[in-house]
Amino acid sequence: MSNLALVNLDVLILQVIINVIIIGPMLWLAGRILAGKDKAKLTDAIWIAALGTIIGLVFSHLFSGVIALVIVVLLWLALIRHFFDCGWAKAFLIALVAIVIFVVTATVLALLGLVALRALLRFP
C-alpha cells in the first residue's frame, strides 16, 4: 500500500480549514505591508494557505528529512511569490513578517486569556 493512500481525508480537510483561518490573514497582512494592497489580496492569501497545506502534507507523506523540509519551504515561498507577484527575497520577507505577526497575535491572545482566567478565578 502506498504512503499516499494513508492520507486521512477528514484530517486533511480540517487542517486546510484551520490553516486558511490562521495563516491566510497573517499572510494577507504581511503581503499588504510588503507587496502593497494592489498585489496582496485576501483571496490570494487564502489560496496560498490552502495549496501550501495540501502540497506540504502530500509531500511530507511521500518524503522525509531535511531535504524534504527545504523543498516544502521553497514550495511555500514559490506560492507566495506567484500569488503576490513578487521576487524570492520579498516572498521570504513576507513569510518572516507573517511569522512575526502570528507570534505577536498569539502572545496577545494568550495574555488576554490569562487575564480573563485570572478574573474568573478571583474569589470575592
The pLDDT of residue 123: 60
- State residue 122's pLDDT score: 80
Q: How far is CA 64 from the centre of its chain?
A: 20
- Band of residue 65 on the pLDDT scale cut at 50, 70, 90: confident
Q: State residue 116's pLDDT score.
A: 87
As given in the structure block, the three cell numbers for residue 100 are 512575526
Mean pLDDT, rounded, of the chain: 89
Q: pLDDT at position 101, please?
A: 96
Residue ranges in 35-87 assigned as alpha helix (H): 42-62, 66-83
* Spatial separation of the C-alpha atoms in residues 101 and 58, rounded to whole Å: 27
Residue 65 DSSP one-character state = S
pTM for the model stands at: 0.82
